[in-house]
Amino acid sequence: MIPPQVLPGDDVESQNTSMVEQTDASIIQTMRQLIGLIAKHNHAYYVLDNPTIHDHEYDSLMQQLNALEQQYPHLIQPDTPSVRVGGAPLSQFENVAHTVPMLSLGNVFNVEELTAFDQRIQERLFGQFYQYELELKLDGLAVSLHYESGCFVRSITRGDGETGEDISHNVRTIRNLPLVLNNAPFTDNDQTIATPDVLEVRGEILIPKSGFERLNREGLAKGEKAFANPRNAAAGSVRQLDPKIAAARPLAFYAYAMLGEQAQAIGLQTQDQTLCYLQHLGFGLARKPQVVEKLEQIQHYYNQLIEERVNLPVEIDGLVIKINDLKQQQQLGFLSREPRWATAYKFPAQAAMTLLEGIDWQVGRTGVLTPVARLKTVNVGGVMVSNATLHNFGEIQRLDIRVGDTVSVYRTGDVIPKIERVWPEFRPINTLPVQLPSLCPACQSHVVYVEGEAQARCSGGLYCPAQRVEAIRHFVSRRAMDIEGLGERWVDSLEKMGLLHTVADIYDLHQHQAALLQLEKMGEKSVNNLLNAIEASKHTTLARFIYALGIRGVGEGTARMLAEHLQTFEALQQATLEQLLKVPDIGDITATLILEFFKEPHQQTIVNRLLAAGIHWPAPAPRTRQPLTGQSWVITGTLSTLSRDEATQHLQALGARVSGSLSSKTYHLVAGEKAGSKLAKAHSLNVPVFTEAEFLDFLKQYGVAIS
Ligand code: IVH
């Protein structure tokens, strides 16, 4: 039974205070219960792929454990999952010799070679009955894992097969890796196997496809270089001295072997039984093992995998065929670098070399220009490929890729093919660096590329057809012009009917009542409500109007600053760089983006139409120094008496700036319930913290009463 204080969803902070009086023994007991629960849920999530609690409940368990560990560092348990956040960096890698060399596998590529492999087995097994066990050939990084007394102690890369590097500090952070083995006995065929004292498991570390896509997306947005494929990303992650890097990467480990002699010594008889045993100990398997007898079954499985490959969560480059019986494996033995009892039935290559014939630019819904490589059509793993993504302009500059270059194209089935590498040695003479187009291919507005940013953007946000839906969606949103009833579905339909090209058309919709009534599910009442909401939106504030224009880098806070400091819309339209830079919060990049916005004649036309439609606002209150002017506040956790938005508005009304990120310059943190890392950071930076009650008292001083 778990004591009530560790059940997910409970308030962590109130427990901390009550635990001060607890004895070491009871704290250890609570820690052990939390560790047990977390391990159980990790296993359900990562290994069984069947989560049994919500993410926030899981987070709550972790937070409770972290809070206890912070408070009682001397009681931290050796198998705590908090090691998964990564400890101190190493200064260098240590080379370690493998107990038994890590070999590679032979390859077959077609039925003939497969048949020849089977023939060799038959000959060596002298008419014995034998079966094959089939596994996915995972395209990651081979590692060996060592466990002593059921605890993870070390992990070594394959290296040259004889000696590898100790990467335990990184491997320890892998979420689906058991740090402690399940010690319940394993029962199979009336036979019971206990967990051995010393165990060596081998398998593959990889990054699942979804994690890889996310990693690259996030990296590219931060201006980092894209990883060419999940394998490189996984390899780059575990070969880092600082384990925090690996901890932040979505790495996974899948087991495929135990040392053969060790498996037999504890009573295991077959490879499929070994895998089930490893799963019982807590390891993830890429897939349930398959046992077959005939070559046709292998071929069938192989063909099926080629079909399924695209939809598999992980990258595979073939099928591994292993003799199932461990004694027969031993009998067959090894060639110099590979076992005789196993081979890889490889898929056709997923990469191919071809020529880059040109680059097209596509505009996304937020105005980002994405370069698309036009390739000389090439067969990549059975699919004809003639386009590949190049991510962004920054990536082109980093790769120094040029039209005419020979490139390697890499394909992972469901995702768009990528350029994996450029071969400068095959570059023809007289090639030129790729130029960014000066005009947007969708709307001919000028393209803005701020040096140091990865992405180039079209500056015609309100006008560009590629950005139309996004611009309208933002314009009508609650915190912008607040036009209720003009949801995305209507925007789409109205756009298709030719009634809504730009945000300015919203204010002409009253002329098209009949057309509006024809829209599905639009009765007279909804049309009236919509038209009324549009009319009402004309009366707004300058800050909202500026925000609604969707100028890059101008969020609500910045819009408010601009309104307060410049006072009129004309002043904003005519502002110079120097004037903009005088507005607090506005740096070079935002200032440039504002100037570019108003420089674009297409935008001016739309803005003029909006003003002509009658959008108006009261003159902003003259800027007076308010009590919290110049202070930056951060709010975190859940507040119970008011929403975060309301808290933000109160603070802003008193002149404070409310930011999402905490730094040493933060003036005050308001921490609601379940405050997490920000609270810890505030403590470490000595930023003063208010609880919700203290915050309400504070507001009261300024006449803000919240009931
Ligand atoms: S067994 C002695 N099983 O393939 C046999 N290897 O080309 C050892 N690999 O370095 C390997 N999936 O990293 C085995 N299910 C699987 C595998 C697998 C991927 C990798 C492994 C090895 C390479 C050999």
Atom nearest to 137 CA in ligand 1: 12
Return the pLDDT at 194: 85
Q: Indicate which atom in ligand 1 lies nearest the CA of residue 338.
A: 2
Residues annotated catalytic, as ranges: 137
Taking the centre of ligand 1 as the mean of its atom positions, its distance from the CA of residue 319, in whole angstroms, is: 10
Whose alpha carbon is nearest atom 3 of ligand 1? 256
Tell me what pLDDT residue 18 has.
41
Please say if the pLDDT value at position 14 is more than 50. Answer: no
Q: Which residue has the tokens 């359900």?
A: 44
Residue nearest to atom 16 of ligand 1 (CA): 137
Statement: residue 5 has pLDDT above 60:
no
pLDDT band, residue 217 (cuts 50/70/90): confident
CA of 288 to the centre of ligand 1 (A): 16
Residue 459: CB atoms within 10 Å: 25
For the CA of 139, the closest atom of ligand 1 is: 19
Whose CA is closest to atom 22 on ligand 1? Answer: 104
**Per-residue pLDDT averaged across 256-279, rounded?**
93
Relative to the CA of 257, which ligand 1 atom is closest?
A: 1
Q: Which of 98, 204, 262 most suits a substitution to test ligand 1, by most atoms within 8 Å of the C-beta?
A: 204
pLDDT given for residue 46 in this prediction: 63
Written as six digits, the tokens of 459 are 């500056």
Written as one letter, the residue type at 632 is: S
pLDDT for 36-57, tens place per residue?
A: 888 888 777 666 656 677 766 7
Please name the residues in contact with 421: beta carbons below 8 A apart, sequence gap of 6 or more.
228, 407, 408
Q: How far is the CA of 306 from the centre of ligand 1 (A)?
A: 18
User: Rounded to the nearest whole angstrom, what is the distance from the C-alpha of residue 298 to the centroid of ligand 1?
Assistant: 17
Measure 83 CA to ligand 1 centroid, in angstroms: 28
Kindly give the distance from the C-alpha atom of residue 292 to the centroid of ligand 1, in angstroms, as a whole number.
Answer: 19
Q: What is the DSSP letter of 425?
A: G
What values do phi and psi take at 370, rounded to 5?
Answer: -110, 125
Residue nearest to atom 14 of ligand 1 (CA): 256
Ligand 1 centroid, distance to 287 Cα (angstroms) = 14
Q: Does 449 or 7 have the greater pLDDT score?
A: 449
At 401, is the pLDDT very low, low, confident or very high (cuts 50, 70, 90)? Answer: very high
Question: CA-CA distance, 237 to 250, in Å (whole number)?
Answer: 9
CA dist 171 and 500 (Å) reads: 54
Residue of minimum CA distance from atom 17 in ligand 1: 137
- Residue 251 has a CB neighbour count (10 Å cut-off) of 25
Nearby residues of 651 by Cβ (< 8 Å), 6 or more positions away: 628, 633, 658
Q: Which residue has the tokens 């300015």?
A: 504
Q: Residue 412's pLDDT band (boundaries 50, 70, 90)?
A: low
pLDDT at residue number 425: 84
Q: Which of 137, 205, 254 to mutate to test the pocket of ligand 1 (most atoms within 8 A of CB)?
A: 137
Angle at 85 (CA atoms; ends 83, 91), nearest 5 degrees: 85
Q: For 431-472, what is the HEC assignment?
A: CCCCCCCCECCCCCCEEECCCCCCCEEECCCCCCHHHHHHHH
Atom 18 of ligand 1, nearest CA residue: 137
Count of H-run helices and E-run strands, the chain: 26, 24
Residue ranges around ligand 1 (CB below 6 Å): 103-105, 135, 137-138, 142, 158, 204, 256-257, 320, 339, 342, 344
More confident residue, 184 or 414: 184
Q: With a cut of 90, say whether residue 381 has pLDDT above it.
A: no
Q: Span 502-523, mean pLDDT?
A: 89
